[in-house]
Amino acid sequence: MTTRVSVDFRDGAVVSAADRGFTYGDGLFETLRVVDGAIPLWTRHVDRLTDGCARLRMPPPDASALRAEILRLCSGWSDVVVRATVSRGVGERGYALPAPQRPTVVVSAAPLALDPVAAHEGIAIRLCDMRLAAQPALAGLKHLNRLEQVLARAEWSDPGIGEGLMRDAEGRVVCATAANLFAVVDGRVHTPPVDQGGVAGVARAEILATQAVAVAPLSLDQLLGATEVFLTSAVRGILPVRALGARTWQPGPVARALQAHWASLGLPLPSRSKDRDR
C-alpha cells in the first residue's frame, strides 16, 4: 500500500538510531482520519497531544504547522489514515532529558479503506490474558510505550476476531488494544476510566462531550449483562460489538446514533456497496 512519510516536515522515512523514540519509546502519537482535506476531530487530537507533551515534559509541536503537514501528505486522497508521532528527539546515552530538547515529528499517511461489515454489522472480540498495569503517571496518554498492547494483540491471529479486550490487574475491563470501550448497562451509557491504564481516546472524548456517560469501573459480568456494547476509535469510528465468546449482541440504538453523529462531523460510515465490490 502506498504510504507517504515525512520527518521533521520534509519528505523522508528514516530517523536517527539515537532518537529517544527508538531507544526508550520516549514520545507520543496520534492516529487521525482525514476526509477530503478536513480533520473533523483535529482540536481533540491537538488537545491530547499538547497535554501529553506537558505530562512528558516535552515542548509541543506547532499545531498549525503539524496540521498543514498532515494535509500536505493527504493531498489528492479522499479518505486517509494518518499517524503523527512526536518523539523527544535525539539524545545521548542515559535517561536524562536532552538539553535542549528537539522533538522529532514523523507524519505518515495512507489511503483508508474501512471495513463496512464491521461498521454495519459489528465485530467479534475476545478477552485478552495480558493485563494493563496501573500507572497513573502515563495512563490516558497515547505514548510510544505500547508493549502491553503489542503482547495483547499477539494473543490471537484469527481474522474473524476484530479486537481484544484488556483488563486491569483486578479483572475490570478497561479498553480494547486500539479502541475504547462503551457499554449500555441498566439503560445508562458507561465507559471505564483510563486514569490507571489505557488511552484516553479522541473518539471517547467526543462522546463524553456530547452526551451523558457514566465514567465508572466496569466488571466483566456487567459487560456481559450490557444491552449494547461498542468500541470507539478516531480512525475506525463507532464499532458495534456483536460477539464476545458465546455472548452476542445486535448493533444498538446508542451506537447507531453515534454513527450518525460521526457522519455529521464529516466522518462517514463506509458504504456497504464497497463491501460488495471487494
Q: Residues in the site for its own copies, rule: CB under 8 A?
A: 1, 3, 5, 7, 12-26, 29, 31, 56-57, 81, 83, 85, 87-88, 92-97, 106, 108, 110, 130-131, 133-135, 137-138, 143-154, 157, 169, 177-178
Residue 185 grid cell: 448497562
Minimum CB–partner distance for residue 151 and its own copies (Å): 6
Q: Which is nearer to its own copies, 82 or 189 (CB)?
A: 82
Q: Which is nearer to its own copies, 51 or 208 (CB)?
A: 51
Minimum CB–partner distance for residue 95 and its own copies (Å): 4
Distances (CA, A) of 151 to 14, 83, 148, 230, 241: 25, 21, 5, 22, 22
Minimum CB–partner distance for residue 133 and its own copies (Å): 4
Q: Which is nearer to its own copies, 87 or 191 (CB)?
A: 87
Provide CB contacts within 8 A for 101, sequence distance 6+.
Answer: 58, 59, 88, 89
Q: Which is nearer to its own copies, 226 or 235 (CB)?
A: 235
Minimum CB–partner distance for residue 83 and its own copies (Å): 7
The SS3 call for residue 160 is coil
Cα of 273 vs its chain's centroid, Å: 26
Report yes or no: 241 and 125 within 8 Å, Cβ to Cβ: yes
User: Cell numbers 461498542 label which residue?
Assistant: 230
Q: Which is nearer to its own copies, 171 or 253 (CB)?
A: 171
Minimum CB–partner distance for residue 6 and its own copies (Å): 9
Q: Which is nearer to its own copies, 57 or 278 (CB)?
A: 57
Minimum CB–partner distance for residue 102 and its own copies (Å): 16
Buried b (16+ CB within 10 A) or exposed e, 29-64: bbbbbbbeeebbbbebbbebbeebbeebebebbeee
Strands 214-215 and 228-233, by their bridges, are unpaired
Q: Give the helix ranges, DSSP H, for 28-163.
A: 42-55, 63-74, 116-121, 147-153
